[in-house]
Amino acid sequence: MNKQKIKEQIIEQLKTVYDPEIPVNIYEIGLIYEINLTDDGRVHILMTLTSPNCPVAESLPLEAKQSVEAVEGVKEVDMELTFEPPWTMDLLSDEARLELGMF
């Protein structure tokens, strides 16, 4: 399977993970800053949380990692948590804004 197809499947998997505070998946609310995939199936994901004090700070990255590990062709997943730049509502996708009634 080619890298683009695997990356698309990774994004689809990330869309199954929801932040419990916002009824929208972590990809659409902008918590995923980067997805890097190597030719040998290693994935590095740079993500953030809505706040450093997020009650799911430990479980949400783990849930995201496990969802990505289920993608065929993914051998290893490295989740990196950052708060730079801090998450803001500006990172919401159009889909998330629609879901949250922000249009």
Tell me the pLDDT of the chain averaged across its residues. Answer: 93
* CATH number, domain with residue 20: 3.30.300.130
Give the DSSP letter string of 36-80. Answer: EE-TTSEEEEEE--S-TT-TTTTHHHHHHHHHHHTSTT--EEEEE
Q: What distance in Å separates the CA atoms of residue 89 and residue 83, rounded to the nearest whole number? A: 14
The three-class DSSP label of residue 99 is helix
Q: What is the DSSP letter of 25?
A: B
pTM: 0.92
Tell me how many domains the chain contains: 1
pLDDT band at 69 (very low <50, low <70, confident <90, very high): very high
What residue numbers bound the domain in which 71 lies? 3-99
Report whether the peptide linkage leading into residue 61 is cis, meaning its omega lies within 30 degrees of zero. no
